[in-house]
Amino acid sequence: MPEIITETYNANQIQVLEGLEAVRKRPGMYIGTTGPKGLHHLVFEVVDNSVDEALAGHCDRILVELLPDGSVQVSDNGRGIPIDIHPKTGKSALETVLTVLHAGGKFGDGGYKVSGGLHGVGISVVNALSEWVEVSVWRLEKVYKQRYERGFPVTELIPSLSEEAEPRRGTQVRFKPDPQIFTTQTEFEYDILASRLKELAYLNAGVKIEYCDRRGAELRTDIYCYEGGIREYVAYMTRDKEPIHPDIIYVNGERDNVVVEVALQWCIDSYNDNVLGFANNIRTIDGGTHLEGLKTVLTRTMNATARRLKKIKEGESNLAGENVREGLTAVISVKVTDPEFEGQTKTKLGNTEVRGIVDSFVGEVLNEYLEFHPAVATSIIDKALQAFNAAEAARRARELVRRKSALESSTLPGKLADCSSRDPKESEIFIVEGDSAGGSAKQGRDRHYQAILPLRGKVLNIERADDTKIYKNNEIQALITGCGLGIKGEDFNESQLRYHKIILLADADVDGAHIRTLLLTFFYRYQRELLDRGFIYIGCPPLYKLERGKTAQYCYTDRDLQTAIASFPPNANYNIQRFKGLGEMMPQQLWETTMNPATRSLKRLTIEDAAEAEHIFTILMGDKVAPRREFIETYGSKLGLADLDI
């Protein structure tokens, strides 16, 4: 008889991870990724604790410092993390907060009324994923210090008399990310942190956030403090536009432990809306009840005003929500005691009571403002009516855009070479410039999951176009129907999307860069959620083919080319081919260098700073020449482009 081998499966095979071991074993569960986004998330977790102190009224200054040894230090003048013994753990409250998941002052009635970090894992996760952490707490005229290494305390909590000239209170956390966890990057990028810190300062009026980079030879410091809060945020986003009303409409109130702040500004020279939502300082890119309440009250109030002013007559249809919001820049920020966020990413607010509270507060203020400013009301409604009159073109396009199902359509553009797969998660579309490049791409692709959509000429700049022009444009219609983008102004519906990778593939020249910018403007203005959720990519074709003997090497930058040439022995012969356009590449070359997932390089585009993105698109693609010229001159000189012909 054959030998029977029995594998033992018993309690010995069940692994129990204690303390912070689980965080180090599966860091992605707690910070999303161990790439650059997760790395910077560590800083935000620590800063959020200081902001929570500010929300509770105990802190008005926060200092964030990038230090030469690769660590970051966050200090505040809050109450300081408690240092007395915790009754359940038998350790100090400080050590408990740093070593126990779901421990903190955000779960009961005594610590915080409102908080952003409600999962309670913030600083303990930072501790677990850091090579070391040093914490200092100033309380009762003493300073208490403790050091941790990879989640474990290596010193006792040591008290000493504070050496400060003036009595001080607060918390200081210094940590260095663990290279064993963050294997691709441990260096913090100044601009990524700056955009979030600036955003937090806008959302928390009067809180001073000082940001210092001490890593270079020269100290770099920025100070963010906005007494006007989100009003200044809206003013910043609309600084390059022409406002319809001089004063930003502002709403501020509290009811049933919900604080509501709204700032509204309609602009003449904009065909789009830009509405940012926040709940407990967290950007809610997937919306939620606060944004639903705001959109509902705006539509209802503007329609009631339009009828009162006889702009809409009896029997005529109401303005749609997207008509009312055309040209609007708005920020809504709510602070909720017990927020319900949908999903671990905390990007959609679910509290039903918030919808009615927002509706009530905004309705009262907006009605009063429009009643006392009839000229402003007329201007906003006239702009909305213009958008409404373009709705007929949108309705005609609706029939083209609506598909029989999320994956099949009989009205796809004829120029689209679709893939055979009907699974959007594995499918990708290359949007290429011209028929020549389209031909190479179609022949070189993997037909199972790669689709090709060639576009002719320059794409319409929708920054300067209303909906009528958008839906009449053949290339824009091809983009909408080919990708499954839905109708502009409607909520994003991921199930309609035909491909989860939309790859822009343009020539490596000025015209290619212009076309790529026009396409990015289209996606940003038409359906910004595509960028927010990371569906948009840029393909990176090589600039050169370097041949030496029978070997060939592709170079993607001038630096790559110079490095490759420098590696050759002195005086061996070589040939350089410069690719001026994708159409010059053979299908096999295009596949090997740009389309093959195993060898290609893609850049995934996301928006970290919504306000700055709005500013850039307005300047570069808007009607005003002077700001665009100033921008090009400023950044052109920084890039060493001294002889710009503008």
- Tell me the catalytic residues: 433, 507, 509, 511
- The answer to whether the beta carbons of residues 512 and 432 sit under 8 Å apart is no
Q: Supply 295's token pair.
A: 């959109």
- The number of beta carbons lying within 10 Å of the beta carbon of residue 4 is 5
Place of tokens 């499966």: 9
Please give, one letter per residue, the 3-state secondary structure of 383-401. Answer: HHHHHHHCHHHHHHHHHHH
The CA distances from residue 256 to 193, 334, 336, in Å, are: 34, 12, 9
- The number of beta carbons lying within 10 Å of the beta carbon of residue 311 is 18
Place of tokens 């001073």: 208
Helical (H) or strand (E) element with 131: strand 130-139
CA separation for the pair 547, 39 (Å, rounded): 40
DSSP conformation class of 460? P
* DSSP per-residue codes, 331-378: EEEEEESS--BSTTTT-SB--HHHHHHHHHHHHHHHHHHHHH-HHHHH
CA separation for the pair 170, 172 (Å, rounded): 7
- The number of beta carbons lying within 10 Å of the beta carbon of residue 310 is 8
DSSP conformation class of 218? S
Q: Where do the H-state alpha helices sit in 223-331?
A: 230-237, 289-308, 321-324
* DSSP per-residue codes, 501-563: EEEEE--SSHHHHHHHHHHHHHHHHH-THHHHTT-EEEE---SEEEEETTEEEEESSHHHHHH
